[in-house]
Amino acid sequence: MKLELPELAFAKDALQPHMSATTLDFHHGKHHNAYVTKGNELLDSANLNAETLEELVKASAKVGGALFNNIGQHYNHSFFWNSLSPQGGGAPTGPLASKIDADFGNFDNFKKEFVAGGVGQFGSGWVWLVADAGKLKIVKTANAECPLTMGMVPLLVCDVWEHAYYLDYQNRRPDFLSAFLDHLVNWDFAAANLAKA
Ligand code: MN
């Protein structure tokens, strides 16, 4: 199985002013692409059995090291692009909204926990909304780690590596996380993931 850089589902300038075309040029075109290239080099000699990217992430996690880091970063970034939408942001509706109210108390509490998770991730990493044994939770992971290898179902993710926000927000990670929730988050993607969980 080979890794492939996915096309973005939106134009590079469609998320402005919340995420610039320059950020996407670097983040998708350089950073993500580098994980794909390096991951494929390492996969050539790795002999892993996997039919899907999810299986590949789990198989490579058992090997660890650069192989997992590059495959994990490919999975995490692909998931992140799907977590963004030019029509995104605001509150979800339907079963996902009810589930968020049930498990976080209300939507504002969810937002506070999500931003606190992203701000609290020391150094590089990710903040996720996941389903864990039927309950929604905020989970933060370091570097290339992801909830798939912890037996959880990812619903959406925000990248909190500095390369995700530094060109647009400099050191203001909390502002980036708020902009993600208010203007960019793709609730349709999260709802579809919840329906499969
Ligand atoms: Mn990134």
How do residues 3-19 score in pLDDT, each as one tens digit?
999 999 999 999 999 99
Is residue 138 very low, low, confident or very high in pLDDT (cuts 50, 70, 90)? very high
CB 158 within 8 A of CB 10: no
Fold adopted by 21-82: Helix Hairpins (1.10.287)
Is the fold of 21-82 the same as that of 94-196?
Answer: no
Going from the Cα of 1 to the center of ligand 1, the distance in angstroms, rounded, reads 22
Spatial distance between the Cα atoms of 133 and 20, rounded to a whole number of angstroms: 37
Going from the Cα of 177 to the center of ligand 1, the distance in angstroms, rounded, reads 14
Closest CA to 66 of 147, 144, 146, 169: 144
The pLDDT value recorded for residue 197 is: 87
Ordered by start, the domain boundaries in the chain are 21-82, 94-196
Taking residues 121-137, report their average pLDDT: 97
φ, ψ of residue 161 to 5 degrees: the values are -65, 150
Going from the Cα of 105 to the center of ligand 1, the distance in angstroms, rounded, reads 30
Q: How far is CA 83 from CA 9, 39, 161, 183, in A?
A: 11, 22, 16, 12
> Does residue 49 carry a pLDDT above 90?
no
Going from the Cα of 104 to the center of ligand 1, the distance in angstroms, rounded, reads 27
Going from the Cα of 99 to the center of ligand 1, the distance in angstroms, rounded, reads 28
Tell me the pLDDT of the chain averaged across its residues. 97
Could you tell me which residues come within 8 angstroms of residue 193 by beta carbon, excluding any fewer than 6 positions away? 131, 153, 154, 155, 156
Percent of the chain scored above 70 by pLDDT? 100
Pick the CATH number of 94-196 from 3.40.228.10, 2.60.40.420, 1.10.760.10, 3.55.40.20: 3.55.40.20
Going from the Cα of 27 to the center of ligand 1, the distance in angstroms, rounded, reads 6
How do residues 78-128 score in pLDDT, each as one tens digit?
999 999 999 999 999 999 999 999 999 999 999 999 999 999 999 999 999
